[in-house]
Amino acid sequence: MKGKINLILATTCHILVDYLCIMTLFNLLKNDTPNEMRMLYNILAFGTQAIIGYIVDISKNKWIGIIGAILVSTGSLIYTNEILVIFIIGMGNAMFHVGSSLFVIDESDGRLSDLGIFVSSGAIGVGLGTISYNRLASIVLIALSILWGIKLGREKGRLQERERELDFNIASNNHGVVFIAFICIIIRALGSGKSLCTLSGSAWIMVISISSCVGKAFGGILSDKFGARLIGVISMIVSMISIGYSFVIGAVGVVIGIIAFNMSMPITLGVIIDELKNYKCFGFGLTTFGLLIGSMITLFQYKLSITKNVIEMICLSGMALVCMMYVVKGGRKENEI
């Protein structure tokens, strides 16, 4: 438990950071604000993480995450200039994600469950930020950041001691593993924006967010237990079947499909970090960059019916399955056997 304090703090802050960013974005921009502002936010928050990650990998600066969280809190309290606010929360979000990933990955000891738990919490923040509004979260985030800062201050010099080469032992020996994993992330992002049933509203948004969160978290936990390749392949097959059957079993099929579809997320993240070894924060940034590219492509997609969306989603799951089989070798469990 003692060794997991950074993970608990990072996960809690992750919910608050994503909540504040989306909440600010929705309330600041209202309904008449141009589309481009959201694009600017996405580019700042998700496109710059690879670059910031590389800087963190080189400098080993442990304060980046806390600075990011404080920037997001500050940005959510300012309502003067749209572009300024978007710049602050966008950069704050990017810095927080990369900075906190440094601790989460370092303390994971090669376990995918830690990565899954950390990344999963963001979905809850996004879901809550879409449907609710509470500026008190900014104060809570500042308080948590100060607490985290005090804790890190006491751990002077521990970062270098802890610095070691992690071995997730899941990346296959094939050529271009990072590239194919990156493509897999883009494919997943393409599928993530699709409406798969007629349901809508706040409750449905929260159902999607919770399903996504559960999928990511359990993807990591089950991969540690049964092997990353096995879970990656099974999850994609389950996703294809359940989404395909959603016409018969309704929203339940969609929920199961979303859970299974998201289970591969910590696996692809683990593969990239495993491949890039000492450049883990850069690897983390690359995954979010893949999500951004996928989401940008969806801007140019034509309106499709739910039936066509479901068919497209099944095809995307199939493509992701092929990518997973290429990039993931047996997880640690399989190797032990």
Partner 1 sequence: MKYRNVIQCDVAIYNPVEDMTIDYGPIIIIGFFILLALIIVSGIILYKVYKDMDKKEERTEFVNGVNMNNEVSTNISMVNTLENKNMAEQEREKYNDGPVVSFGSTDNNSYSGTTIDGSDNQV
Is the CB of residue 337 less than 8 Å from the CB of residue 273? no
Question: What CA–CA distance (Å, rounded) separates 104 from 119?
Answer: 10
- Report the residue number, 7 or 269, with the smaller CB distance to partner 1: 269
Window 17 to 56, contacts with partner 1 (CB under 8 A): 18, 21-22, 25-26, 31, 34-36, 38-43, 45-48, 50-51, 54
CA–CA gap between residue 187 and residue 207 (Å, rounded): 22
| 77 C-beta neighbours (distance < 10 Å), count | 15
211 within 8 A of 259, measured Cβ to Cβ: yes
Query: Integer distance in angstroms from the first to the last C-alpha of the chain?
Result: 28
152-181 binders of partner 1 (CB under 8 A): 178
Closest CA to 171 of 235, 232, 238, 214: 232
Per CB under 8 A, does 135 bind partner 1?
no
Binding mask 79-118 for partner 1 (x = CB under 8 A): ----------------------------------------
Rounded to the nearest whole angstrom, what is the least distance from the CB of residue 105 to partner 1 in the complex? 16
Q: Give the nearer residue to partner 1 in terms of CB position, either 60 or 277.
A: 277
Q: C-beta of 317: minimal distance to partner 1 in Å? A: 12
- 171: β partners: 328
Is residue 238 involved in binding partner 1 (CB under 8 A)? no
- As given in the structure block, the two tokens for residue 62 are 């442990």
Interior angle at CA 45, CA 26 and CA 74, nearest 5: 65
Q: Which is nearer to partner 1, 152 or 209 (CB)?
A: 209
* Residue closer to partner 1, measured from CB, 144 or 190: 190
Among 76, 138, 192, 239, binds partner 1 (CB under 8 A): 192
Candidates 101-109, 221-229, 230-238, 277-285; binding stretch for partner 1 (CB under 8 A): 277-285
* Distance of closest approach, residue 277 Cβ to partner 1, in angstroms: 7
Residue type, 17: V
User: Whole-number minimum distance, CB 1 to partner 1, in Å?
Assistant: 27
Query: Measured between alpha carbons, how far is 187 from 292 in angstroms, rounded to an integer?
Result: 11
Question: Among 194, 210, 312, 326, which residue interacts with partner 1 (rule: CB under 8 A)?
Answer: 194
In the bound state with partner 1, the residue whose beta carbon lies nearer, of 70 and 272, is: 272
* CB 90, min distance to partner 1, A: 10
Dist CA 176 CA 192 (whole Å): 24
Q: For residues 106 and 118, give the distance between their C-alpha atoms in angstroms, rounded to a whole number.
A: 13
Is the distance from CB of 3 to CB of 107 less than 8 angstroms? yes
| Among 65, 75, 122, 232, contact with partner 1 (rule: CB under 8 A) | 122
What torsion, rounded to 10 degrees, do the Cα atoms 198, 204, 208, 209 define? Answer: 150
Asked if 293 touches partner 1 (CB under 8 A), the answer is yes
Least Cβ distance, residue 123 to partner 1 (angstroms): 7
Among positions 8, 78, 252, 304, the unique one binding partner 1 when judged by CB under 8 A: 304
CA 254 to chain centre: 20
Cα dist from 302 to 167, 195, 288, 292, whole Å: 42, 13, 24, 18
- Please give the Cα distance from 137 to 133 (Å, whole number): 9
Out of 2, 59, 173, 302, name the contact with partner 1 by CB under 8 A: 302
Interface with partner 1 (CB under 8 A), residue from 99, 125, 220, 270: 125
Q: Which of 100, 211 has the CB closer to partner 1?
A: 211
